[in-house]
């Protein structure tokens, strides 16, 4: 059986204030065209359909336009909610949509209710595991703890129990939206700056062994296409959503699932015409403005790093005279004056989660690192704040 695996559409997202609705619309058109060309049997969409729990009207209109396109493919589409989606909002009309072949899975209680498919080689059970916020899913799934590892383990235990009732030889596919690492550590877990932190108690990931016994796991959440194990893969996002993804080769993942062997995967790269025109430039301001080698970047969306020893006057305004689409500007001098050797507050916070920031605050104020009791209280406070925010988004 042949699947097309995609994820992380993030409909409605903007790129440094640049509107992406038109680019996303073209991506969805290309997705449907690819599904037809490759003669797939089912389409898998592994979460983060929208970029926000309360999506913009433009994003809703785009999704509404896409639904009939998906139904017209004449094959099942199975999609799940991600951590950016409101499960309740995305799940509106799910039973009605399923009659048109678009199966939207947003309820943790239904993780063991598969979409059943069949080809000449036998049956295939496709299970949708929506993003599981540990504190909110723990009770419903009767998990041992409020952690990503525990709630996913509970969900997969239910799936394996259902699979055991199916005819012998039934192949299994699971869609999930999570940060999954291999048994040896973080293999296949390349993160981007555009992914929202989902850490619980400082731990954002679960291990791949929770999916033991599943023939193929279609993952969403990480934006770079990558392998976790032979049977567990991320499709990545179809568009770059931060300059950290400039070098990514965006793609869809074609999955051929045989009766017994490891799935065969093919990355179908998106054509250049559908990619965002992203680029990075580094150098002295005067050099960047004068160098003819940069002429091809005058219309690109740029991340510029200036290396002048002193911050140039009106640097952004001057850059935009030549590079109209300069979207992000940093100043990192190659020679740093002695009085400017300390990092800025923004630099100290970069790539750090809320718990790390809170711990550092205690250290700076008190002159020593938090005690175990203080660290536990900080963790509880950060978790409470994050859960309250999640509850508001999904309300």
The radius of gyration of the chain's CA atoms, rounded to the nearest angstrom, is 23
- Read off the pLDDT of each residue in 93-121 and give the average, rounded to a whole number: 95
Same-domain pairing of 179 and 301: no
Q: How many whole angstroms separate alpha carbon 395 and alpha carbon 387?
A: 12
State whether 282 and 202 are in the same domain. Answer: no
Q: What is the pLDDT of residues 135-189, one digit of tens each?
A: 889 999 999 998 999 999 999 999 999 999 999 999 999 999 999 998 654 444 6
DSSP summary character for residue 344: P
Residue 268 placed within a domain:
yes
Contact 205, 189 (CB under 8 A): yes
Same domain for 166 and 47: yes
Question: In the predicted model, what is the mean pLDDT of residues 192-198?
Answer: 64
373 and 329 in a common domain: no
For residues 161 and 304, membership in a common domain is answered with: no
**Which range (120-134, 166-180, 258-272, 373-387) has the least confidence?**
373-387
Please tell me whether residues 151 and 75 are part of one structural domain.
yes
Asked whether residue 265 falls in the same domain as residue 158, the answer is yes
Tell me if 283 is assigned to some domain. Answer: yes
Q: What percent of the chain has pLDDT over 70?
A: 87
Give me the number of domains the chain comprises. 3
CA atoms of 129 and 118, how far apart (whole Å): 21
> Are 162 and 258 in the same domain?
yes
- Which residues have a Cβ under 8 Å from the Cβ of 81 and sit 6 or more positions away? 47, 49, 87, 90, 91, 104, 105, 106, 130, 131, 177
Q: Is residue 256 part of a domain?
A: yes
Sheet strands (E) in the chain = 2-6, 14-15, 18-19, 42-45, 77-80, 102-105, 115-119, 122-129, 171-177, 179-181, 205-207, 216-220, 226-229, 232-234, 251-256, 264-269, 278-283, 301-306, 326-331
* List of residues 6+ apart from 307 with CB closer than 8 A: 282, 283, 284, 332, 333, 334
Mean pLDDT of 228-239: 96
Mean pLDDT, the chain, rounded, equals: 89
Reduce the secondary structure of 192-255 to three states and give it as a string: CCCCCCCCECCECEEEHHHHCCCCEEEEECCCCCEEEECCEEECCCCCCCCHHHCCCCCEEEEE
CA 76 vs CA 218, 267, 364: distances in Å: 15, 21, 55
Which pLDDT belongs to residue 188?
Answer: 47
Mean pLDDT of 361-389: 77
The alpha carbon of 388 is separated from its chain's Cα centroid by a whole number of angstroms, namely 22
User: Where does a domain end: 225, 245, 274?
Assistant: 274
The predicted pLDDT at position 194 comes to 66
- Residue 120 in any domain: the answer is yes
- Residue 187: predicted pLDDT: 47
Domain of 120: which CATH number?
3.60.21.10
pLDDT for residue 392 = 64
Burial of 54: CB neighbours in 10 Å, binned 0-12, 13-18, 19+: middle
Q: What is the pLDDT of residue 9?
A: 97
Assess whether 17 and 158 both reside in one domain.
yes
346 located within any domain: no
Q: Which domain holds residue 304?
A: 278-341
Q: Confirm whether 348 is domain-assigned.
A: no
Cβ-based neighbours of 176, under 8 Å, separated by 6 or more: 46, 47, 80, 129, 152, 211, 217, 218, 219, 220
How crowded is residue 324: how many other Cβ atoms within 10 Å of its Cβ?
12
For the chain, what percent of residues have pLDDT higher than 90?
74
**Last residue of some domain: 246, 274, 302?**
274
Q: Which of 13, 24, 47, 6 is nearest to 275 (CA)?
A: 24
Same domain, 53 and 100: yes
Residue 203 belongs to some domain of the structure: yes
Our CA angle for 41, 45, 51, nearest 5°, is 160
Nearest to 248 by CA among 262, 220, 267, 228: 267
Q: Are residues 57 and 166 in the same domain?
A: yes
Same domain membership, residue 73 and residue 156: yes
- Give domain status of residue 55, yes or no: yes
Dihedral sign from CA coordinates of 248, 251, 254, 255:
positive
210 pLDDT above the threshold of 90: yes
Q: What is the pTM of this model?
A: 0.83
Q: For residue 51, how many C-alpha atoms fall within 13 Å in the half-sphere facing its CB?
A: 20
User: What pLDDT score does 349 carry?
Assistant: 65
Domain boundary among 237, 252, 274: 274
What's the chain's length in residues? 395
Reported confidence tier of residue 376, pLDDT bands at 50, 70, 90: confident
């Amino acid at each position: 059986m042949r699947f097309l695996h995609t994820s992380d559409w993030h409909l409605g997202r903007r790129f440094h204030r640049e509107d992406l609705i038109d680019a996303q619309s073209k991506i969805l058109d290309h997705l449907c065209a690819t599904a037809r060309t490759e003669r797939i049997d089912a389409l898998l969409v592994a979460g983060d359909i929208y970029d926000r729990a309360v999506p913009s009207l433009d994003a809703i209109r785009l999704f509404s336009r896409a639904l009939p396109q998906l139904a017209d493919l004449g094959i099942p589409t199975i999609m799940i909610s991600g951590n950016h989606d409101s499960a309740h909002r995305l799940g509106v009309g799910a039973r009605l949509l399923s009659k048109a072949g678009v199966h939207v899975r947003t309820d943790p209680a239904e993780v063991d209710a598969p979409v059943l498919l069949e080809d000449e080689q036998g049956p295939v059970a496709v299970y949708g595991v929506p993003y599981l916020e540990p504190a909110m899913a723990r009770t419903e799934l009767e998990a041992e703890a409020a952690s990503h590892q525990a709630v996913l383990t509970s969900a997969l235990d239910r799936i394996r129990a259902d699979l055991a009732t199916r005819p012998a030889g039934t192949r299994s596919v699971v869609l999930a939206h999570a940060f999954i690492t291999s048994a040896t550590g973080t293999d296949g877990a390349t993160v981007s700056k555009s992914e929202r932190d989902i850490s619980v108690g400082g731990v954002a990931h679960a291990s791949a062994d929770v999916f033991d016994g599943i023939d193929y796991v279609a993952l969403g959440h990480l934006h770079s296409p990558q392998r976790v194990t032979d049977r567990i893969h991320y499709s990545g996002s179809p568009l770059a959503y931060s300059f950290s993804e400039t070098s990514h080769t965006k793609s869809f993942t074609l999955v051929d699932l045989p009766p017994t062997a490891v799935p065969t995967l093919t990355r179908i790269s998106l054509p250049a015409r559908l990619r965002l025109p992203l680029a990075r430039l580094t150098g002295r301001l005067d050099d960047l403005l004068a160098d003819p080698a940069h002429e091809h970047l005058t219309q690109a969306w740029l991340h510029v790093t200036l290396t002048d020893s002193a911050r140039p006057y009106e640097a952004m305004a001057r850059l935009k005279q030549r590079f109209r689409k300069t979207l992000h500007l940093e100043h990192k001098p190659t020679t740093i004056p002695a009085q400017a050797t300390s990092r800025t507050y923004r630099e100290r916070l970069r790539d750090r989660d809320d718990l790390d920031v809170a711990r550092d605050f205690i250290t700076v104020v008190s002159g020593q690192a938090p005690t175990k009791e203080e660290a536990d209280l900080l963790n509880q406070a950060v978790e409470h704040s994050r859960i309250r925010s999640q509850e508001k988004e999904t309300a």
